[in-house]
Amino acid sequence: MSTRLTWLGHGTWLIEAADKKILLDPFLNDQPTAPCKADEVEADFILISHGHFDHVADAASIANRCGATVVGIYEIATWFAEKHQVAETVGMNLGGGVTLPFGHVKMTPALHSSQLPDGGCGGHAAGYVLTISGQRIYFACDTALFSDMQWIGRGGLDVAVLPIGDLFTMGPADSVSATQLLKPRHVLPAHFNTWEPIAQDADRWAERIARETEAEPVVLKPGATWELAVE
């Protein structure tokens, strides 16, 4: 069994594992580089990292159409249940973990803000470590570089997905430092080239990762799938 990661552009990912479809931060309809629209994706679970529109925009419509469970920090899970009538939610908080049908989900801190689109309080921004079939996948989501990433990497990471866009999150140079702290086997870039202010040269970033870290860079185009083989 393998885990498939499909980049849907920006911070949006589709993870397929254990016959489940897991969407992270679905933002498709108003995202310039998205390879599909919100009504074209299916999901069993939707993970939300924080409250900004470019991470929550299409979550409620997909959840309510598919009957997906929305997972997020307590404030955001409650917001989806109360404001968007999402029937199934899992509220958690930083440092906490939960076992779901596809694997284990641990919520990690992120250094970022988290106001919801209607001005509501989104709690604290988060990332996730997913443990699926014994493999550990870290989605840093929107965050600055922070030195506790070395603890997130302790125990080994098969994959780290890091923002490289700069301006709203860490940029390419700090993502190289993050990779040095996390020590993942593979590192994938996200949250760039959506709009001009976060345009980045991913090939140049990959050259730096290859030269300055032990990780293997994997650069996807929006819509492309990368398969993480079980070894």
The footprint of Ni ion on residues 2-61 (CB under 5 A) is 52
Q: Compute the C-alpha angle 145/146/147, nearest 5°.
A: 130
Q: Which is nearer to Ni ion, 55 or 186 (CB)?
A: 55
Q: Is 124 in the site for Ni ion (CB under 5 A)?
A: no
Q: How far is the CB of 112 from Ni ion (least distance, A)?
A: 6
Q: For residue 224, what are the CA distances in angstroms to 31, 77, 78, 150, 168?
A: 16, 29, 33, 29, 24
- For the purposes of burial, counting CB atoms within 10 Å of the CB of 33, is it exposed (0-12), middle (13-18) or buried (19 or more)? middle
Q: How far is the CB of 115 from Ni ion (least distance, A)?
A: 9
Q: Which two tokens stand for residue 149?
A: 């990433």
Stretch near Ni ion under the rule CB under 5 A, chosen from 39-47, 134-142, 175-183, 203-211: 134-142
Q: Which is nearer to Mn ion, 23 or 100 (CB)?
A: 23
Q: How far is the CB of 96 from Ni ion (least distance, A)?
A: 21
Q: Is 142 in the site for Ni ion (CB under 5 A)?
A: yes
SS3 60: helix
Which residues of the chain form contacts with Ni ion (CB under 5 A)? Answer: 52, 142
Which residues of the chain form contacts with Mn ion (CB under 5 A)? Answer: 54, 142
